[in-house]
Chain A
Amino acid sequence: MAMKYDQVVSAFDPVLGLEVHVELGTKSKMFCGCATLFGAEPNTQVCPVCLGLPGSLPVVNRKAIEYTIAIGLALNCSIAPYSRFARKNYFYPDMPKNFQTSQYDEPICKNGYLDLEVETEDGIKEFRVDIERVHMEEDTGKSLHVGGATGRIHGADYSLLDYNRAGIPLVEIVTKTIEGTGKYAPLVAKAYVKELRDILRSLGVSDVKMEQGSLRCDANVSLRPMGEKKLGTRSETKNVNSLRSVERAVRAEMIRHAGILETGGKVKQETRHFHENTGETTAGRSKEQAEDYRYFQEPDLIPIAPADSWIDEIRKNLPERPSERRKRLQSAWSVPDKEMAAMVNADVLDLVAETVELGADPTKARGWWLGEIARIANENEKWAGELPISPVNVKELIDLINAGELTDKLARQVVEGVINGEGSPKEVVAQRGFKVVSDDTALMEAIERAITTQPDVADKVRNGHIPAAGALIGAVMKDTKGQADAAKVRSLLLKHLGQSE
């Protein structure tokens, strides 16, 4: 019987280690000039180098080094004055050379840290995660497993390989052991990956799309009894591909480990796979006979010794740190803590900021991104940024409302239209024939008609019974197909009937 989470954290002290792989957003691959576009026809972005054909040789993409140094600097790492590539030798059909060109004992960035503000049920907690290393390597190809019942690797009859992804630059960011997080461990893990993702996005070095695999996280989890110094045996949960999954996977592993330890069992050191649908992990390859990768310096590549001037240049161009930016925006927009946290949690801060930059009012911009758009996103189990509505659209929408050309109610329909792909807000307004009836003459005619059809109601209002006006306003709105501004109708009506609020 599995332990409850609060039992787990009262008996055991979790220790984490997180390895994040990021595909860099360079135009060309790490060691050759092939394009890195996502979704190309299979094997059309390959050459002798990234196919590992005999005789081919790698040459390092300067931009990839620059991006990696930028990541290292943003994570407070020291940049190695001299570093080399190494070969990590093992057989796997998606890896064309049967060695991965990587870095081993000489990574380009070392010893950094990342400070986190973690929102917990006990308020905001601060944690510092120490970074062990940031190093460069290359991605593998993609395999499609054919035959068998499930289309998964086990039971497949054969596999089909596409090497378009092979050789895309990857950066691996490895933390030191993360200790002292206690019951917040899953939240810290999630917050770390999220903060890291925000930093990478702000650096512009990657599109950091977890769902497309351009940012992938492996989570190492171990437990030790409270008060014990010695680390427990860890499991490594692979390719956890959403922020929510990071938190869930860590929690699931903590509960699983505790269940084993509590009954006197031993945790196996192994790879685990997280399943989003069940929220559980299953065993992968056992690491008991650890593979010997026979690392050695890559003789085909030349050592990297970045000049101080180059590093300084990269440092100078680093963008504002996301945490600092958040503070700056919060004070500029005068947003309360809770609202700010809501934006951060829904991951719409950048979208709001862009909308504000276009000239929209911060409160209104926030209202739309956290309101109607977030609602539709939730409905579709998506993130607002994935919906086909842009800050430019939202700004246009707000402008239309300000100009009195849309009511809030109509505007919500416009948002829906934009997301449905009907065009920009103006186009949706035109196509759907939305027109706020603001022409007084037209409104007055509708009001006259309402009074004529409901004379007794009109009399009540004339006699000072203001709440009765509702029925007349409703009739006017119905008459104008909802395209009139209700407040305006009300004021015209009352005035016409010789009353005021």
Chain B
Amino acid sequence: MSESELDHLSSELDLILSAVARVSEVAKDDIAPTSHPLPLLNVFREDVITPSLTADEALSGAPAKEEGRFKVPQILGEEA
């Protein structure tokens, strides 16, 4: 992002953050958080193999590929 874009964004974000910070006014300790709108439990699938994509389909959207694999720029970091 450019400097001016960043400045603009950060002032907006300050504004938004101060507006949304109001949630803590009512979020008392004794209120349980809701992470899922519905009280569902235990949704599973059976351990059954279903057809996969073909390698061509899997790679169809790849920006780059080689030897049936996704080709990505050099990965910096951990030796796996």
Select the stretch in A38-46, A254-262, A350-358, A391-399 that faces chain B: A38-46
Tell me the residues in window 104-149 of chain A with beta carbons closer than 8 Å to chain B beta carbons: 142-146
Cβ-defined contact, B79 with A284, below 8 A: yes
Q: How many A-B residue pairs have CB under 8 A?
A: 142
Choose one: A42, A60, A143, A163; the contact of B45 (CB below 8 Å). Answer: A60
In the docked arrangement, what's the CA distance between A33 and B51, Å? 7
Select the stretch in A152-160, A193-201, A363-371, A440-448 that faces chain B: A152-160
* B40 lies within 8 A of chain A by Cβ: yes
| Nearest Cβ on chain A to B18's Cβ, whole angstroms | 21
Cβ-defined contact, B44 with A42, below 8 A: no
Cβ-defined contact, B55 with A26, below 8 A: no
In the docked arrangement, what's the CA distance between A163 and B52, Å? 12
Choose one: A63, A158, A271, A284; the contact of B72 (CB below 8 Å). Answer: A158
Contact sample, A vs B, 20 pairs, CB 8 Å cutoff: A32-B50, A33-B48, A42-B55, A43-B59, A46-B53, A46-B58, A47-B50, A48-B53, A51-B53, A63-B46, A92-B75, A144-B69, A157-B74, A160-B69, A160-B70, A161-B71, A273-B79, A296-B35, A297-B36, A302-B41
How many chain A residues touch B (CB < 8 A): the figure is: 59
* A68 lies within 8 A of chain B by Cβ: no
| Nearest Cβ on chain A to B4's Cβ, whole angstroms | 27
The closest CB in chain B to the CB of A54 belongs to: B61
Choose one: A27, A53, A238; the contact of B47 (CB below 8 Å). Answer: A27
Cβ-defined contact, B52 with A93, below 8 A: no
The closest CB in chain B to the CB of A63 belongs to: B47
In the docked arrangement, what's the CA distance between A216 and B7, Å? 46
* B67 lies within 8 A of chain A by Cβ: yes
Chain B residues near A161: list those with CB within 8 A: 69-72
Choose one: B40, B69, B73, B74; the contact of A162 (CB below 8 Å). Answer: B69
In the docked arrangement, what's the CA distance between A239 and B80, Å? 8
Cβ-defined contact, A158 with B71, below 8 A: yes
How many chain B residues touch A (CB < 8 A): the figure is: 35
In the docked arrangement, what's the CA distance between A34 and B55, Å? 13
Cβ-defined contact, A305 with B69, below 8 A: no
* B54 lies within 8 A of chain A by Cβ: yes
> A: which residues have CB within 8 A of B?
26-28, 32-35, 41-48, 51, 53, 59-65, 84, 92-94, 142-146, 152-154, 156-163, 238-239, 271, 273, 284-285, 296-297, 299, 301-306
> B: which residues have CB within 8 A of A?
35-36, 40-55, 58-59, 61, 66-75, 77-80
In the docked arrangement, what's the CA distance between A192 and B67, Å? 40
Cβ-defined contact, B36 with A299, below 8 A: yes
Chain A residues near B36: list those with CB within 8 A: 297, 299, 302-303
Cβ-defined contact, B54 with A44, below 8 A: yes
Chain B residues near A273: list those with CB within 8 A: 79
Cβ-defined contact, A41 with B48, below 8 A: no
Choose one: B43, B70, B72; the contact of A43 (CB below 8 Å). Answer: B70
Chain A residues near B74: list those with CB within 8 A: 145, 156-159
Chain B residues near A160: list those with CB within 8 A: 66-67, 69-72
Chain A residues near B58: list those with CB within 8 A: 43-44, 46, 51, 163
Cβ-defined contact, A143 with B55, below 8 A: no
Chain B residues near A41: list those with CB within 8 A: 55, 68
Chain B residues near A34: list those with CB within 8 A: 49-50, 52
Chain A residues near B75: list those with CB within 8 A: 92-93, 143, 145, 153, 156, 159
12 additional contacts, CB 8 Å, given A44-B52, A60-B45, A142-B80? A27-B47, A27-B48, A35-B52, A45-B52, A53-B61, A59-B44, A60-B43, A161-B69, A163-B70, A284-B79, A296-B35, A297-B36
Choose one: A62, A159, A302; the contact of B40 (CB below 8 Å). Answer: A302
Cβ-defined contact, A44 with B43, below 8 A: no
The closest CB in chain B to the CB of A32 belongs to: B50
Q: Contacts A33-B48, A34-B49, A160-B69: A285 and B42 contacting too (C-beta < 8 A)?
A: no
Q: Contacts A43-B55, A47-B53, A61-B45: A154 and B70 contacting too (C-beta < 8 A)?
A: no
| Nearest Cβ on chain B to A26's Cβ, whole angstroms | 5
Cβ-defined contact, A27 with B41, below 8 A: no
| Nearest Cβ on chain A to B22's Cβ, whole angstroms | 20
In the docked arrangement, what's the CA distance between A156 and B73, Å? 9
Chain A residues near B71: list those with CB within 8 A: 158-161
The closest CB in chain B to the CB of A302 belongs to: B43
Cβ-defined contact, A59 with B43, below 8 A: yes
In the docked arrangement, what's the CA distance between A303 and B39, Å? 9
Cβ-defined contact, B47 with A28, below 8 A: yes
Chain A residues near B35: list those with CB within 8 A: 84, 296-297, 299
In the docked arrangement, what's the CA distance between A53 and B62, Å? 11
In the docked arrangement, what's the CA distance between A26 and B79, Å? 27
Cβ-defined contact, B49 with A152, below 8 A: no
Interface centre among A43, A48, A53, A158 (most CB of B within 10 A): A43
Chain A residues near B72: list those with CB within 8 A: 93, 143, 158-161
